[in-house]
Amino acid sequence: MGGAGLGLAAGCAVATCAIAAVMVGHRVRSRRRWGRAVALVREFEEASATSVGRLRQVVDAMAVEMHAGLASEGGSKLRMSLTFIDNLPDGSEEGTYYALDLGGTNFRVLQIQFSGKGSMILTHRVQRQPISQELMTGTREELFNFIASTLKQFVQREDDGIDQIPDVRKDLGFTFSFPVRQLSVSSGLLIKWTKGFSIKDAVGKDVAQCLNEAMLKTGLNMRVAALVNDTVGTLALGHYYDVDTVAAVIIGTGTNACYLERTDAIIKYQGLLMNSGDMVVNMEWGNFWSSHLPRTPYDISLDDESPNRNEQARLSSGFEKMISGMYLGEIVRRVLQRMAEESDIFPDAVQNLSVPFVLRTPLMAAMHEDGSPDLREVGRILEDHLKISGVSLKARRLLVRVCDIVTRRAARLAAAGIVGILKKIGRDGSAGVASGRTKGKPRRTVVAIEGGLYVGYSMFREYLNEAVAEILGEEVAPPCLFSALLPAIVIQHYLKQMPSCPDYLVQNHPHCQVLKQQAVDSLKIKLFHIKPFLFLVSSTPK
Ligand code: ADP
Ligand code: MG
């Protein structure tokens, strides 16, 4: 009995020890797995580092590539295309204009009245029309006939009382956001369709001419006077509000930039360009590449796996993939997937995290900007959108750190790109007082920035603005960076009397004062929609 009791006691002790050993083993393994997740994030952070020194190397590389792209066709990955826009609006424009904006699933027709005084818009009317799937994949005749007849109905409806001389042919501004080889300010050949469009018989054709023919057929007395892309539109809009605007950058689904260049610096077209002065150059900077870009294994695998998966991803290049809204969420997903594979911090999530592009950038931004102490929003997004539950608070914190690394790198690289443009045109302060130093008389420089990522993601914007000032150094006055859409947001702050309202935006933009009573959403739409008009104004001979 005693023996049996002893035996039982001994058996219990062995079992307890075994259980304890198992528990300790679990804890050690779990700590090791957590340690692995942290190590992965640390490695990623190191590989993504953007010290000021490295950013300055990117600045130099951007300026060098710009020179090379201007020197010869194909001389650089930067295409540096001519736009034939040599005159930008300055706020003194007057009269009624029509424009058309085609670049996605909707197209818009617009009518706008400029006051002629101090960048003031009197009225603007917009009609938005969806483009059906059939039209997106049909024939060019069907698409352009549809656009022309919608425009005709709009003009007939809106013209009453405004048009002083109804029989005179009207000019039309056409914002066409697909790749085009520009032939003149009002003509250009479609290189290829993107964004779900596939109208084969339009490729290689002059899209302005296609529209002109359709307008003629429908009996609409109008002609395309300006054909532009969205980057040039942003520059025009920036210049309309502030004549010191020298460059424009789009950071949305993709990214691109354009700027004002001296025609004598566009070496590759010296024979072609007769007039001296300036011309807007479309950089196509998404294609920029430099060995100084901090590339991680996740960027490399994104590149390698793109061809079969996604047309846009296949066509984009290094810079765009590190910066733009299409990819930031995807880079985060790739890091999280590896963390899920090599640790246990996202329970049972490997499968859900292995779907490419499942984590969209706006969702990633919302997790990054979750200000709640227990990161409730991060938990909700993981559950609702990725079907991942039971993620601990410390794992959610690690996830936010991954978002921060990706966004910070993107914003700082975009900042380096912007300073690269300023360097190319001698406005980065490196050439002395005249190019932007605060001592002596500074030369004011404004860069217009637009696109959903910059406008909608405040952490991105803060990192970008901060990095521009950091790269330029304390002695140089940083350029004024503004988005035409942002004043609308600023006004909202202004109306709420929030102390953080950046005064320079309100001061620099008279329309802030004019429009401040209106709802923020309608303001955004208003400012966004006037872009094509401004092209038209800038290109119409006075
Ligand atoms: P597009 O570039 O397609 O013309 P936008 O300039 O509106 O259109 O940019 C849309 C892109 O911007 C989205 O695909 C998304 O990646 C990004 N984006 C939009 N809103 C946000 C947001 N709040 N936070 C982060 N990214 C955003
Ligand atoms: Mg756009």
Query: 327, 245, 326, 231: which is closest to 281 by C-alpha?
Result: 231
Please tell me the predicted confidence (pLDDT) of residue 450: 85
Query: 341, 352, 362: which is closest to 387 by C-alpha?
Result: 352
Q: What angle do CA 531, 532, 537 make, to 5 degrees?
A: 100
Please tell me the predicted confidence (pLDDT) of residue 33: 85
CA–CA dist 278, 475 (Å, integer): 28
User: Could you say which of 230, 278, 299, 370 is catalytic?
Assistant: 230
| Main-chain phi, psi angles of 180, to 5 degrees | -135, 140
Residues 6 or more apart whose CB falls under 8 angstroms from that of 97 comprise 111, 112, 113, 114, 171, 173, 533, 536, 537
Distances (CA, A) of 491 to 123, 156, 477, 515: 20, 35, 25, 8
Pocket flag, ligand 1, residue 253 (CB < 6 Å): yes
Please tell me the predicted confidence (pLDDT) of residue 513: 37
CB-based contact 331:48 (threshold 8 Å): no
End-to-end CA separation in angstroms for the chain: 114
Nearest ligand (C-alpha, residue 195) = 1
Q: Who surrounds ion ligand 2 at CB < 5 A?
A: 230, 252
Helices (H), 76-219: 133-136, 140-158, 207-217
The percentage of residues in the chain with a pLDDT greater than 90, rounded to a whole number, is 48
165 is written with which tokens?
A: 């001389």
Over residues 520-531, the pLDDT tens digits come to 344 444 555 566
The string of DSSP letters for 220-236 reads: --EEEEEEE-HHHHHHH
Rounded to the nearest angstrom, the distance between the alpha carbon of 252 and the centre of ligand 2 is 7
Told to judge if 177 belongs to the known catalytic residues of this protein, a careful annotator would answer: yes
Please tell me the predicted confidence (pLDDT) of residue 524: 44
Please tell me the predicted confidence (pLDDT) of residue 432: 54
CA–CA dist 186, 183 (Å, integer): 8
Exposed, middle or buried: residue 360 (CB in 10 Å: 0-12, 13-18, 19+)? Answer: middle
Mean pLDDT in order along the chain per 10 residues (542 residues)? 46 59 60 88 98 98 98 93 87 84 81 75 80 93 96 85 64 88 92 86 97 96 90 86 88 91 90 77 92 95 67 68 94 97 90 94 97 97 95 97 98 96 90 48 78 90 92 81 58 34 38 37 50 61 36
Please tell me the predicted confidence (pLDDT) of residue 67: 97
- How long is the chain? 542
Helices (H), 273-392: 297-309, 311-315, 318-323, 325-342, 350-353, 361-368, 376-386
535 is written with which tokens?
A: 């092209």
Rounded to the nearest angstrom, the distance between the alpha carbon of 276 and the centre of ligand 2 is 31
Nearest ligand (C-alpha, residue 452) = 1
Pairing assessment for the beta strands 180-184 and 170-176 based on DSSP bridges: unpaired
Q: Which of 234, 406, 450, 453 to mutate to test the pocket of ligand 1 (most atoms within 8 A of CB)?
A: 453
Please tell me the predicted confidence (pLDDT) of residue 367: 98
Q: Which of 321, 361, 463 to mutate to test the pocket of ligand 1 (most atoms within 8 A of CB)?
A: 361
CB-based contact 33:343 (threshold 8 Å): yes
Query: 519, 523, 494: which is closest to 506 by C-alpha?
Result: 494
A 10 A CB-CB count for 276 gives 9
* Helices and strands in the chain, H and E counts: 21, 13
A 10 A CB-CB count for 295 gives 16
- Any bridge partners for residue 262, and if so which? 278
Rounded to the nearest angstrom, the distance between the alpha carbon of 172 and the centre of ligand 1 is 28
Angle between helices 325-342 and 297-309 in degrees, nearest 10: 110
User: Could you say which of 76, 79, 86, 108 is catalytic?
Assistant: 108
CB-based contact 251:323 (threshold 8 Å): yes
CA–CA dist 526, 356 (Å, integer): 35
Q: Which atom of ligand 1 approaches the CA of 230 most closely?
A: 4
Told to judge if 171 belongs to the known catalytic residues of this protein, a careful annotator would answer: no
Told to judge if 230 belongs to the known catalytic residues of this protein, a careful annotator would answer: yes
CA–CA dist 48, 28 (Å, integer): 30
CA–CA dist 462, 401 (Å, integer): 16
User: Could you say which of 76, 81, 119, 177 is catalytic?
Assistant: 177
Residue type present at position 8: L
CA–CA dist 243, 539 (Å, integer): 16
pTM higher than 0.85: no
